[in-house]
Amino acid sequence: MNTQDINRRIRLIMDLRNKGITDTAVLGAMERVPRDKFVPSSVRDQAWEDMALPIGRGQTISQPYVVASMTAALKISDMDKILEIGTGCGYQTAVLARLCRRVYTIERHKPLLNRAEKKFEELKIRNVTAIAADGMKGWPKINGIDQAPFDKIIVTAAAREKPPQALIDQLKPGGMMIIPVGPSGDQMLKLYKKESDEAYSARDVFPVRFVPLLPDIASDDEAA
């Protein structure tokens, strides 16, 4: 990394601090994960700006402030097992992997998943398991093994009215899920806490703009 990139990285972390991100573990993870490695070469010069960027297939890499806020809200510990819905380019996954025991991540766009997995390998991120699947159904049993329930769940696409029941079911009692909810143009980032097997609480975090949470694995010709 050249001096200019180092300075951009430091400037971004200071900007996040100034915007109210105080969790030092989250800031440290974001400082160590090279965001420029996860974006297309056409926008690499903007990788360390606090802005969302296109990553192909009609998807985006989230604004760093949103990544930091969503991550910090979950109060992640190094023993947590986390489910992520929406791998995208893998940047948020890599930040989570720095903070928790293991990340299980689902992406419906196979080309994005393939690129993300190559980045995990390149950066020697070993505590991530990634699959192409329908994230609205939660993590499937694989070879008869059920990874649920999860300590934390993070969803990087917006549910239209409420989180899918399958995700609530896969959350441990006492666990937390952060997810955008609402139609395009009127989305709110919400933090859910599973109080018991039968009850959960929810609070608004702040308004956001995310791509919609969609079912099934995306077809090869699906652009958005």
> What per-residue confidence (pLDDT) applies to 1?
63
Question: Which CATH number is 28's domain given?
Answer: 3.40.50.150
Residues with catalytic function: 62
Any domain includes 100: yes
Any domain includes 220: no
Beta bridge partners of 82: 103, 152
Reported as a single tens digit per residue, the pLDDT across 57-69 is 989 999 999 999 9
Any domain includes 219: no
Any domain includes 180: yes
144 torsion bin: left (phi>0), alpha (psi -120 to 50), beta (else)? left
Reported as a single tens digit per residue, the pLDDT across 193-218 is 999 988 899 999 999 999 999 999 99
Closest-CA residue to 82 (of 64, 61, 98, 105): 105
Any domain includes 35: yes
Reported as a single tens digit per residue, the pLDDT across 99-155 is 999 999 999 999 999 999 999 999 999 999 999 999 999 999 998 999 999 999 999
Any domain includes 216: no
Any domain includes 222: no
Domain that holds residue 81: 3-208
Provide CB contacts within 8 A for 19, sequence distance 6+.
50, 65
> What per-residue confidence (pLDDT) applies to 224?
46
Distance (Å) of CA 101 to CA 25, 71, 141: 14, 14, 20
Q: How many domains does the structure of the chain reveal? A: 1
Any domain includes 117: yes
pLDDT at 87 over 80: yes
pLDDT at 89 over 60: yes
